[in-house]
Amino acid sequence: MIVTAFDDDTDEHGNRVDVFATGTVEPPPQWLQCGGSPWVLRIDDNGVRCELDLPRSFTRR
């Protein structure tokens, strides 16, 4: 399954700027299974991005 994960963040002035990543949900590797993680997100080639990196037409503001 392909999903987008995000988290609230702030810039150096305290303004809200979300960070996000898109990737594929998959079972965790063996070394993570003992930690109780039922799923992991394999982040795509775009990596973790900041809302400010998007073209203005994609943002909610």
pLDDT per position as a tens digit, 19-30: 999 999 999 888
Looking at per-residue confidence, does 61 or 36 come out higher?
36
Is the pTM above the cut of 0.75? no
Using alpha carbons only, what angle is made at residue 45 by residues 47 and 50, rounded to the nearest 5 degrees?
A: 25
Q: Are 6 and 19 in contact (CB under 8 A)?
A: yes
Q: Which residues pair with 49 in a beta bridge?
A: 20
User: What percent of the chain lies above the pLDDT cut of 70?
Assistant: 87
What is the DSSP code string of the chain? Answer: -EEEEEE--B-TTS-B--EEEEEEEEPPPHHHHTTT---EEEE-TT-SEEGGGS-GGGS--
User: What percent of the chain lies above the pLDDT cut of 90?
Assistant: 39
Q: How confident is the model at residue 35 (pLDDT cuts 50, 70, 90)?
A: low
